[in-house]
Structure 1
Amino acid sequence: TLSQLEKKDKYIRLLQAAKSKADSINLALAVNLKSVLREGIEDEDVEIKVDKTVVFVNLSDKMLYQSGSSNITSRANEVLGKIAQIIQSRPELEVMVEGYTDNVPIKNSCITDNWDLSVKRATSVVRALQTTHKIDPNRLIAAGRGEYNALASNATAEGRATNRRTRIIILPKLDQFYDLLNPNNVPD
């Protein structure tokens, strides 16, 4: 019926407006992050990208940790503090921290392998965001990706350095996103 078509059309406009708003918010978030992180940080140490509904902050391994360690450096804590300021201002967003390694095997008394190292590094960043920078732990997710999902070839030292990174992903709370997609939420 015409009424049903009008209702669906209204719902489509609502979804388009929500997507447009999310895109604008993410762009503003990325601009704010770039502005806050500009001072005193080398360009190759931080990369900020917007992709669809999320903002990615890639942090180089050499800035965050000493080789083979998951302990955060004081320099890294300073950078995380700047990122935390932006995160604090956006309580409707969640933060996923992913650790990545190269493919060089590691094993010591505290670390079993690259999976283990990547998880410990992500967890270290999450703990710093929670304890030092007071981000609500309910908004934080830690994940280790090991040597997988490489950005560059592990055949060269430069490629391995690129692959050793920590990615902070700032994303909308998924339950809010799914609420938008629920057909029962179609406006009358």
Structure 2
Amino acid sequence: MKKVVIALSVLAITLTSCGSKKKIAALEEENKKIQDLLNTCTVKLNTCLTEKDHMASQMEFLKKNNSDLINNMGNLTTLSSKGAENLEKSLESLKEKDLKITRLQDALTKKDSVTLALVTSLKSSVGINDPDIQVNVEKGVVFISIADKLLFKSGSYVVSDRAKEVLAKVAKVVNSKPDFECMVEGHTDNVPIKNAVLVDNWDLSVKRATSIVRVLQDDLGVNPKQLIAAGRSFYVPLADNDTPENRAKNRRTRIVVLPKIDQFYDMIEKEMKNMTGKN
């Protein structure tokens, strides 16, 4: 009987001991989970505290910046007002310049129209169609180039009778344009010339120009106030003076028909006054 009681007692103690170990193991596992959770919460808490400090610093900066903005609001308003005023003035100035440019372009267009009409008169109604007479427009100016063989004998500055027929056609147009000027330019080749009357090619080119001016004035009735005589010697050639043909091209008289510069500026000034409404 005693042996049975002892065996039962040992069995009870053993079962009790096994149950306690399981509970301890479970508690230890639970404690580990709690400890891990605590550690995680601690890390997050520290992170939050750091972010809080940073946000507090940012808030302080924003408060100061906001205060500065409020304090400077009056200055900004003043600056904005001045900026708007300056911008308005700049826009008005640009508009005025744009109008001036438009008026100037209109004046140039009118000048070009007059020039075109002049060329038409020379080529059509007047009837200048000789191959030795070239009429063209460069930069709004009419140029009439006449080969020397139509005007002078070689080395001479005496105007031929045939030249007077050609010059009569030019004079007709010039006389119809009293507000224009007529500049006569003499051009030679580079062959040197010197005799009892002529010193050099400069002298020849100028004397040829003055001879033609005298014909326009004395024989064809052109107002001398419209006439200009000029010599260019051989320094403005059309071609190299290396062949007889090229030298013949360079021996020429060029008549330039152009509006008087002061009247052209008067035309522009008139357009400007029309633009501003001034008298």
Q: Which amino acid aligns with 2:102?
A: R
Q: Secondary structure of the equivalent of 1:169?
A: strand
Q: Offset of 1:92 from its aligned partner?
A: 1.1
* Equivalent residue number for residue 142 of structure 1: 229
Q: Which amino acid aligns with 1:82?
A: K
| Alpha-carbon separation, structure 2, partners of 1:181 and 1:19 | 8
* Contact kept in structure 1, 2:186 and 2:209, CA below 8 Å: yes
Q: What runs of 5+ residues in structure 2 fail to find an aligned partner? A: 1-88
Among candidates 213, 218, 228, match of residue 126 of structure 1? 213
* Equivalent residue number for residue 116 of structure 1: 203
* Equivalent residue number for residue 23 of structure 1: 112
* Equivalent residue number for residue 170 of structure 2: 83
* Contact kept in structure 2, 1:53 and 1:172, CA below 8 Å: no
* Equivalent residue number for residue 37 of structure 1: 127
| Alpha-carbon separation, structure 2, partners of 1:160 and 1:86 | 30
Q: Which amino acid aligns with 1:162?
A: K
Does residue 10 of structure 1 match 2:123? no
| Alpha-carbon separation, structure 2, partners of 1:153 and 1:8 | 46
Q: Which amino acid aligns with 1:42?
A: D
Moved more, 24-33 or 63-72: 24-33
Q: Which has the higher contact order (CA 8 A, sep 6+)?
A: 1
* Equivalent residue number for residue 139 of structure 2: 52
Query: For 1:62-104, what per-residue CA distance to the aligned partner results, in whole angstroms no more than 9, with x for missing partners?
Result: 0000111111111100111111111111111111110000001
* Contact kept in structure 1, 2:107 and 2:268, CA below 8 Å: no
Q: Structure 1 length as normaliser, TM-score? A: 0.91
Q: Secondary structure of the equivalent of 1:154?
A: coil
* Contact kept in structure 1, 2:123 and 2:135, CA below 8 Å: yes
Instruction: Count how many residue pairs are aligned between Structure 1 and Structure 2.
Output: 185
Q: Secondary structure of the equivalent of 2:229?
A: strand
Does residue 161 of structure 1 match 2:248? yes
| Alpha-carbon separation, structure 1, partners of 2:254 and 2:146 | 6
| Alpha-carbon separation, structure 2, partners of 1:180 and 1:23 | 13
Q: Structure 2 length as normaliser, TM-score? A: 0.62
Q: Offset of 1:181 from its aligned partner?
A: 6.1
Q: Offset of 1:110 from its aligned partner?
A: 1.1
| Alpha-carbon separation, structure 1, partners of 2:95 and 2:179 | 31
After superposition, the CA RMSD in angstroms is 2.0
Identity of aligned residues (%): 53
Q: Secondary structure of the equivalent of 2:189?
A: coil
**Which structure has the larger Rg?**
2
| Alpha-carbon separation, structure 1, partners of 2:261 and 2:200 | 31
Q: Offset of 1:42 from its aligned partner?
A: 3.2
Q: Which amino acid aligns with 2:97?
A: K
Query: For 1:27-79, what per-residue CA distance to the aligned partner results, in whole angstroms no more than 9, with x for missing partners?
Result: 121121112233xx631x10001112210000000000011111111110011
* Contact kept in structure 1, 2:146 and 2:254, CA below 8 Å: yes
* Equivalent residue number for residue 173 of structure 1: 260
| Alpha-carbon separation, structure 2, partners of 1:179 and 1:5 | 24
Query: For 1:129-148, what per-residue CA distance to the aligned partner results, in whole angstroms no more than 9, with x for missing partners?
Result: 11111111111111000011
| Alpha-carbon separation, structure 2, partners of 1:107 and 1:86 | 36
Q: Offset of 1:3 from its aligned partner?
A: 4.2
| Alpha-carbon separation, structure 2, partners of 1:60 and 1:78 | 14
* Contact kept in structure 2, 1:23 and 1:52, CA below 8 Å: no
Q: Offset of 1:12 from its aligned partner?
A: 1.4
